[in-house]
Amino acid sequence: MTEHAPPVTQTSNGAGPRRPADDADVIVVGAGPAGSTTAYYLAQTGLDVLMLEKSAFPREKVCGDGLTPRGVRALVAMGISVSEQDGWVRNKGLRVIGAGKRLELPWPELSSYPGYGLVRPRTDLDQMLARRAQQAGARLLEGVTVTGPVLGERTGRITGVAAKEADGERTYRARVIVAADGNSSRLSVAMGLRKRDDRPLGVAVRTYYQSPRHDDDYLESWLDLWDGDRLLPGYGWIFGMGDGTSNVGLGLLNTSAAFGHTDYHALLRKWLEGMPAEWGFTEENRTQPIRGAALPMGFNRTPHYYQGLLLVGDAGGMVNPFNGEGIAYALESGEIAARVIAQALSRPTAASAELALRGYPAALNDAYGGYYTLARTFVQLIGRPGFMQFATRHGVKRPAVMRLTMKLLGNLTEARGGDAVDRLINALSKMTPAA
């Protein structure tokens, strides 16, 4: 679709005139964690932000529902109360089970991150984040499916989006558009930004069981996922929801030969068959269907800024390849994008605003570039036959190695100073080129 954008000379964080209701300074497509966070931080600067979300809250999102301390920090920064009285289930760390061993690794206590993680169903979490953005002043339209970009005729730049809603079709316009529409990011695809085949991708499935383990205060991760006599690159998880159920699932990386040929439901059932009967992971106790989705990792869609469109969260392939965590990176990239956009829209000329927007990929690279390059090497290694088995057998019985591994995999180090492990991981991430 091609249309002329209306001339926008001033933004509403200046003293500019109000626009028609369908227009905004910034349109955010998708109100998952990435979209709501972007909208929250933008609205705080006084910009007029419009979020378009195809579903209506509360809505389900296939997820493990687990947050590491990195995610907790980002929620706290947005002024979200994460107390147990407010329904959050805290966890003390990660229990790793593999090669016949069981190891409890408490989250590190750091100046930059709290020493606990959280669990919360996505039906709650995502609604809470969307409401937080609204409280900050963002406008949210639910039940609005964005169907494609509106492009400037001569520039090819995105100047708005076309959308389908209950009472027909409509066009919304803004100076900057944010794609926060998740893994498949149809908007990015329509702008020519496809997934990169040279970047990792995971697939994960999950369901819920009524279980006495629902109040476990550790996140549990099982490294023993077998395909015949081969240990698969991935892990199974059991996260207590605190409401009588456990979120149980597994995820695999695309770096093994088994990827694409795996029956995930059968693998889940086979893995659970080996669990003690009293944990209750049986068909009678299953409370939800088994559902799956992809995990786009390690910047697997780039560039993150193109012709007026910024990609945040899963749309930009921001899931951490080391551990499959995506919520924290959705929240953080939303904040980074918002800061860049606010600077850009305060500039007096279009050329100067464009220069600021082009800084977004560099800001992301500063935050994660080297670390994600390291992670991509890691996922290649564990996809090799025998490597996963070797690492599990030798790693799990060495607590010191596992503590280092936990900090590395969770991206939980002090930004400055810290202990020898922090300094080693930070140095590796800095030395590794962001590519």
Residue ranges binding ligand FAD (CB under 6 A): 29-35, 52-55, 61-66, 71, 145-146, 180-182, 186, 204-206, 249, 293, 295, 313-315, 319, 325-328, 330
- CA 90-40-117 angle, to 5 degrees, is 15
Please name the helix (run of DSSP H) or strand (run of DSSP E) that holds residue 151, with its range, or none.
strand 145-151
Residues composing the chain: 435
Quick one: 326 or 369, whose CB is closer to ligand FAD?
326
- C-alpha distances (whole Å) from 148 to each of 28, 158, 344, 415 are 13, 10, 24, 40
Residue with smallest beta-carbon separation from ligand FAD: 326
Q: Smallest distance from the beta carbon of 165 to ligand FAD, in angstroms?
A: 10
Residue with token string 């935050």: 367
HSE at residue 159, side-chain half, CA atoms within 13 A, is: 15
Residue with token string 């193109």: 306
Quick one: 180 or 344, whose CB is closer to ligand FAD?
180
Own/partner pairs, 3-8, CB within 8 angstroms, 24+ separation: 3/150, 3/151, 3/153, 3/159, 3/160, 3/171, 4/152, 4/153, 4/159, 5/150, 5/152, 5/159, 5/160, 5/173, 6/173, 8/175
Quick one: 157 or 206, whose CB is closer to ligand FAD?
206
What the block records as the tokens of 178 is 């944010």
Quick one: 39 or 231, whose CB is closer to ligand FAD?
39
Quick one: 122 or 389, whose CB is closer to ligand FAD?
122
Strand partners, 424: none
- CA distance linking residue 193 with residue 100, whole number of Å: 44
Q: Smallest distance from the beta carbon of 229 to ligand FAD, in angstroms?
A: 26
Q: Smallest distance from the beta carbon of 82 to ligand FAD, in angstroms?
A: 15
Q: Smallest distance from the beta carbon of 347 to ligand FAD, in angstroms?
A: 27
Residue with token string 């039940």: 143
Q: Smallest distance from the beta carbon of 315 to ligand FAD, in angstroms?
A: 6
* Alpha-carbon radius of gyration of the chain: 22
Quick one: 129 or 353, whose CB is closer to ligand FAD?
129
- Compute the Cα dihedral for 295, 143, 74, 66 and give only its sign: negative
Q: Smallest distance from the beta carbon of 187 to ligand FAD, in angstroms?
A: 7
Q: Smallest distance from the beta carbon of 156 to ligand FAD, in angstroms?
A: 21
Q: Smallest distance from the beta carbon of 10 to ligand FAD, in angstroms?
A: 28
CB contact at 8 A, 36 and 129: yes
CB contact at 8 A, 104 and 50: no
Q: Smallest distance from the beta carbon of 163 to ligand FAD, in angstroms?
A: 7
- CA distance linking residue 332 with residue 70, whole number of Å: 9
Quick one: 130 or 357, whose CB is closer to ligand FAD?
130
Which residue, among 177, 182, 160, 170, has the nearest Cα to 59 in the 3D structure? 182
Quick one: 52 or 353, whose CB is closer to ligand FAD?
52
Quick one: 184 or 432, whose CB is closer to ligand FAD?
184
Beta-carbon contacts of 29 under 8 Å, excluding residues fewer than 6 positions away, are 35, 52, 146, 161, 177, 178, 179, 180, 181, 187
Q: Smallest distance from the beta carbon of 296 to ligand FAD, in angstroms?
A: 8
Residue with token string 């005729």: 153
Q: Smallest distance from the beta carbon of 346 to ligand FAD, in angstroms?
A: 26
Quick one: 136 or 353, whose CB is closer to ligand FAD?
136
CB contact at 8 A, 68 and 117: yes
Quick one: 145 or 282, whose CB is closer to ligand FAD?
145
